[in-house]
Structure 1
Amino acid sequence: MSRPQPTTRRSVKTEYIETDTGNKISRRAFIEGKQNIMLGGKTVLMAGVHLRGDLCRKPEPAAAGEKEKPNTTAVSIGRATVVSTNAVIRPPMRVHKGQMTFIPMRIGDNVFIGPNAHISSASISSHVYIGENAVLSPLCIVKEGSKILPNTVVPPGMTVPAGTVVGGKPAKILGEVGDGWGQGGGVEGEEWVEGGDLRPLVRSIK
């Protein structure tokens, strides 16, 4: 007669790993150069996100007797930012003194990056909405409260002014965001508004 097998408790793995600061990172995200990435807290990286922290400026070698210089931050992402499925975030690159060098990328708070977007901006300010399949080419700058429509291609070096809507291939300014842009979403029970506070959206992601 066979003995009954003892029951074992196995911890069920969730889709997201949650950090001490409330960041939620999908187990299916691809993150390279973790030591060169800073997340501000309550930020979400969904499945298939490819975050290239390994593309960074190499620190200058320390002189004799000096402490080794710390690694450069390649990508800095603010609070309550959502990076959707299969988006690619890659720091921009340029030629400096005859050598290729990577420029640190800064992304602000409450930024929504849509699925399959490709981001190589120098900086993205807070409360920005980036639509699905958008391409932000190297060294472009996106100012606060702006909206990038789906399938838009922002050309290299373009500056998207604050509070504007851009679309097209290449991107053109189509107008200004509405009066409700950036409002709402911060109060419990209130619907999330594009460009507003993304904390309720972050809380809803399990």
Structure 2
Amino acid sequence: MLEPPERLYNPRDYVETNTGNKVSKKTILCGSQQILLSGKSILEHDSVIRADLSTVKIGRYFVLSHGAILKPSYKPLARVQSTPQSAAAVPISFMYSSLNIGDFVYIGEKSVVQAASIGSHVYIGHNCVVSRGCVLRDCISIADNTFVAPDTIIPPFTIFAGNIGKEVGELPDCTADLMEEFMTTNYAKFVSGTRS
């Protein structure tokens, strides 16, 4: 992985918590009382977390990039068939489940993620869609512009890409170490200040 460049942010535009979370004032946090950030996370401007639907628990060193949307997955409980006598649409009942995200997870710009769970050391590129019910195991990489179909389970050490996404390669055994270094460096280089 490439070393991330230093990025400056205006301290008036971000709130920094006691645990080192840096949250943009332009981040939309729905149901903020149901969001648990473990620490050292960055939530950039125009990103959205929909915890009003269900609880969202996020590990350490997490990045939700500009314009990205994170929301819990749902599953249908019962499908009601329409009858020939009734042309009206029949509602489908469903339930949202809590979303657990591991440590060292990066979600790229303008990605929409509605996974059932996300492990640790996961990289999701820019403009990706991770559909409902997906399970992302530890140490995976999803390439930019990838669409992950509903209920997909991505195994560890997998590179996933395409529209519709599929396995295109494997990651090395040292992926956890590389991702930890990338995320800690990314956090350290996201600093308060303005350009001269």
TM range (shorter): 0.7 to 0.9
How many aligned positions are there? Answer: 168
Does structure 1 residue 157 correspond to structure 2 residue 157? no
Per the alignment, residue 14 of structure 1 pairs with 12
Does structure 1 residue 24 correspond to structure 2 residue 9? no
How far 1:13 sits from its partner (Å)? 5.0
The normalised TM-score by structure 1 is 0.77
Higher relative contact order (CA 8 A, sep 6+): 2
Per the alignment, residue 64 of structure 2 pairs with 83
How far 1:200 sits from its partner (Å)? 2.4
Alignment of 1:73-152 (within 5 A): 74-96=55-77, 99-152=93-146
Q: Which amino acid letter does the alignment assign opposite residue 109 of structure 1?
A: D
Task: Point out where structure 1 has 5 or more consecutive residues left out of the alignment.
Answer: 1-11, 57-73, 184-192
Task: Point out where structure 2 has 5 or more consecutive residues left out of the alignment.
Answer: 1-9, 79-91, 192-196
> In the aligned structure 2, how far is the partner of 1:30 from the partner of 1:94?
24
1:89-122 alpha-carbon deviations (Å, 9 max, x no partner): 0111122367321111111100011000100000
How much is the aligned-residue C-alpha RMSD, in angstroms? 1.6
1:200 to 173, 185, 189: 185
1:35-92 alpha-carbon deviations (Å, 9 max, x no partner): 1111011111001101101112xxxxxxxxxxxxxxxxx1111001111110000111
1:105-147 alpha-carbon deviations (Å, 9 max, x no partner): 1111000110001000001100010000011000101111110
> In the aligned structure 2, how far is the partner of 1:95 from the partner of 1:155?
16
Per the alignment, residue 86 of structure 2 pairs with none
Q: Could you say which structure has the higher strand fraction? A: 2
> Does the 8 Å contact 2:157/2:173 carry over to 1?
no
The normalised TM-score by structure 2 is 0.81
Identical-pair percentage = 34
> In the aligned structure 1, how far is the partner of 2:103 from the partner of 2:11?
28
Q: After TM superposition, what 4+ stretches of structure 1 lie above 4 angstroms from structure 2?
A: none
How far 1:159 sits from its partner (Å)? 0.5
Alignment of 1:180-191 (within 5 A): 181-183=175-177
Per the alignment, residue 82 of structure 2 pairs with none
Q: Which amino acid letter does the alignment assign opposite residue 201 of structure 1?
A: N
Per the alignment, residue 62 of structure 1 pairs with none
